[in-house]
Amino acid sequence: MIKVLIVHSTNNIISGAEYAVNDMLAEIPENIEIEMQTPGYGPLTEFYQKQGFKVHSRKFSGVRRKYPGLYLLTSRFYSNWLKKNGFDIVLCNTFGASFRVSLAAELSKKKLIIYTREYFSKQKKINYKQIRRAAEIFAVSKDVKDYFENIHPNVEVCYDTIDIDSLLERIKNHSQKILDSKFQNVGFVGRITTYKQPDLFLKAIPIVLKELPDTRFHVVGSAIDQEKDFENSLIRLAGELEISDKVKFWGRRNDAVELISELDVFCMTSDREPFPRTIIEASLAKTAVVCSNTGGCTEMVDDQKTGLYFDVNSAENHLDLAEKIIRLLKNKEEREMIIENAYLSAIESFGGKKQVKHFFERIVKVAESE
């Protein structure tokens, strides 16, 4: 039996990374036992408890600490706890989680896996220290793996799995309309944070409205407490652009997939997204996608076949985004072609259990390695 502790960096966010792990663990092999850890009790603790996992809501010190030596002291206590509970592997679900537990895993001689879903700063030496402590890096996309090139010898692509059957069932059973279907509807769905660039989405809206005034826009998602100022700035920006009556801010919703299914166009505007899960959700919901031409987007969207790219690094990126939105809204034949291709591609690439099988095979290989 291989006992794995999956460590999370926060206790108050249930986002793509957390849903992805939950989907990955829907069928756990008999030779593997999984427990969770969150840094204190919160919504994420409750989420995993409801899924039937044993969750340790332990607070532990990160590298950035107020008192010198506290991180080493708490890491020693934590390493003893890891040994006492018989864990073989500590798997950090996000690079950020590794800062809390990497030293303890090293002290207790437990194998450390970092399931990285983000791009770390290559200017900070402390990041390299965390990476060196890992036995293996699980990269959520080829783009993330390439980012780690020549930094760690063992980097394996482990795509997130998507519970396609569940999503399709939700979409099929969705009957209560959320959006006004007399308009064409375009949306942004995701956590409100700077790198996802919802402000870029807003800046494209006035250009679209000049061509297609009967279009309505939707921003779905909310910010963590530290980024509430940014979220509030979006509402001010909508006012400055004189589009407040054309765009609705929905906040975080549990029926985001159902809402996506009512959109005519879904926009992914991140400057570099490691694994844009919402692109797959939009494809399964038969909603046309416009996305950035960087990061994991290019692994999920074949330009002009399963979606349209816009040049996110252009000085006039909002103009390019608007142009692609207008193109899809005006050209129903092209939009329907893209929708059908994207749906089939999502089923083929992310259906079945191949990602799950690969994920657990890598865990076993790390556990058995010298």
Amino acid 62: pLDDT: 61
Q: Rounded CA gap, 228 and 231, in Å?
A: 5
pTM of the model: 0.80
- Residue count of the chain: 370
Amino acid 367: pLDDT: 93
As annotated, the residues of the chain forming the CATH 3.40.50.2000 domain(s) are 2-161+353-368, 164-350
Amino acid 66: pLDDT: 61
Distances in Å between the alpha carbon of 319 and those of 16, 199, 202, 315? 28, 13, 11, 9
CATH class of the domain at 2-161+353-368: alpha beta
User: Which segments of the chain does DSSP mark as H helices, in order?
Assistant: 16-24, 43-50, 70-84, 95-107, 125-133, 142-147, 164-172, 198-211, 228-240, 256-262, 277-284, 297-300, 317-330, 332-350, 354-368
Which residues of the chain register pLDDT less than 70? 60-68
Amino acid 231: pLDDT: 96
Amino acid 63: pLDDT: 58
Amino acid 56: pLDDT: 94
pLDDT by residue (tens digit) across 91-140?
A: 999 888 888 889 999 999 999 999 998 888 888 888 888 899 999 999 99
Amino acid 37: pLDDT: 93
Amino acid 327: pLDDT: 98
What are residue 354's phi and psi, to 5 degrees? -65, -35
Amino acid 301: pLDDT: 96
164-350 to CATH, choices 3.40.50.2000, 3.40.50.1860, 3.30.70.270, 3.20.20.210: 3.40.50.2000
Amino acid 72: pLDDT: 80
